[in-house]
Amino acid sequence: MSSALLATFEPDATPADPLNFTSAQGDVSAREVGDVVVYQFRNKTFRLDKTKARERLAGKKVINGHRSAELNVLPLKYHEAYRIYKQMKANHWEPDVIDMSKDAHQWNTNALSAKERWIIEMSIGYFSAAEGIVGDSVLHVIEDNLTAAELKHASLRHIAEESIHMDSLLHIIGSLNIDLDEVTAKFQDIPSIFKKNAFITKHMPALKMGIDLTQTVNKQAFAKALFAITQVMEGTQFYALFAMVLSLHRQNKMTGIGQMFQYTLRDESNHIALGRYILTELINENPDIWTNEFRLELCEFMREGVELEKEFVSDCLPEDIVGMRQQEFLDFVEFNADRRLQGLGLPTLYKVRNNPFQWLDEVIFLKKEKNFFETRVTEYQTSGSVQNSNEEDLI
């Protein structure tokens, strides 16, 4: 969309010069009278009041803003959300085009150790529930309560990507012929997985029922849910398992799964950035939320999430194996927790200075090597999309 078109909706836009042109169907003229543009086309006159667009812009809020029957992003107010949406769209990928033949061969031979197989099984068991929790929470807790169309629009893309991630897990399960009952049992019966999921979901039911978001306590509940999904769950509790699977990928093991996890990780980085942006705008518009007590509450919430994640990491990797040291993954959990807190201006908790897996950040921004429409194996990202990203924001 051109800047000239957007300018007609900005509060400080200067009036355009009177327009006079001839169409194929006859003369059309336009002239401005104050804030009204008058179009004359043959025997018809149309009066367009630009103050209505400015009122619509002023009425846009993260929550408690102007609601309309249509999902119209104009006039665009939250430009960063739209930029992140474009980045998400540029990164679109499809699981079923990824070749899993090598993974299937390794899975059904002695190419993997029992400990490596356990990591793959735990990743499928956890994410088969976790991705659904994120998608459901973004749909019914976050998107339902947002009122600005461009924020809803970006959140709907977030939901669509969670569906792709769930589809990727079905592709993995089908390709490796893994027992579905066993997968289901993992997220129901392994205590560290069950506790992680319950920790996040216990905060969601009240917000799904619809609450009065003009009250500070309810606005804080919404902010906490947004923080829980995008910064604690996606931003902290997902990353150690990503690192484990992609460590195997670096050793040329389970490369199809590794490729899908690489794309998923890149999606998650956008979800984290979008959640942080929405939360920041929410606080700017509702400063009553951001009390000292609430900031401490979020820090303690992150601390609890980290302790649950450490327990889960210990279950996934109870002892060191080739290319993986348990302590590095525990440090990585703390490092990411501080990174998410710092991104919101909150005090850090752990002071882990160095990222144990700097290579993991790098895989998010690899340029594509093959064309998606010419080959079945690809590094997804549409042409020119890299220039839309700010890597520090998205990691």
Is there a single domain that holds both residue 271 and residue 386?
yes
Residue in 220, 82, 215, 72 with CA at minimum distance from that of residue 147: 72
Q: What is the pLDDT of residue 381?
A: 52
Q: What residues form DSSP beta bridges with 38? A: 31, 47
Q: Both tokens of residue 321?
A: 């194996």
Q: What is the pLDDT of residue 66?
A: 85
Residue in 84, 169, 82, 87 with CA at minimum distance from that of residue 128: 169
- Reported as half-sphere exposure (CB side, CA atoms, 13 A), residue 87 has a value of 27
Q: What is the pLDDT of residue 366?
A: 56
Is there a single domain that holds both residue 41 and residue 143?
no
Q: How far apart are CA 282 and CA 38, in angstroms?
A: 38
Q: What is the pTM of this model?
A: 0.84
Is there a single domain that holds both residue 153 and residue 8?
no
pLDDT by 10s per residue, the chain, length 395: 444 433 333 344 444 444 444 444 457 888 887 888 888 888 888 888 888 778 888 889 999 998 877 778 888 999 999 999 999 999 999 999 999 999 999 999 989 999 999 999 999 999 988 999 999 999 999 999 999 999 999 999 999 999 999 999 999 999 999 888 888 887 788 899 999 999 999 878 778 878 899 999 999 999 999 999 999 999 999 999 999 999 999 999 999 999 999 999 999 999 999 999 999 999 999 999 999 999 999 999 999 999 999 999 999 999 999 889 999 999 999 999 999 999 999 999 998 989 999 898 777 665 444 433 333 334 545 443 334 444 444 45
Q: Give 138's contacts (C-beta < 8 A, 6+ positions apart).
A: 155, 158, 159, 162, 229
- The three state secondary structure string of 8-58 is CCCCCCCCCCCEEEEECCEEEEEEEECCEEEEEECCEEEEEEHHHHHHHHH
Is there a single domain that holds both residue 30 and residue 160?
no
| Cα separation values, 35 from 11, 49, 76, 281, Å | 11, 6, 19, 29
Q: What is the pLDDT of residue 299?
A: 98
Q: What is the CATH number of the domain that holds 342?
A: 1.10.620.20
Q: What is the pLDDT of residue 168?
A: 96
Report yes or no on 290 lying in a domain: yes
Is there a single domain that holds both residue 202 and residue 305?
yes
| Cα separation values, 84 from 3, 153, 160, 274, 385, Å | 18, 11, 14, 7, 11
Q: Provide the domain count of the chain.
A: 2
Q: Which domain holds residue 388?
A: 79-394
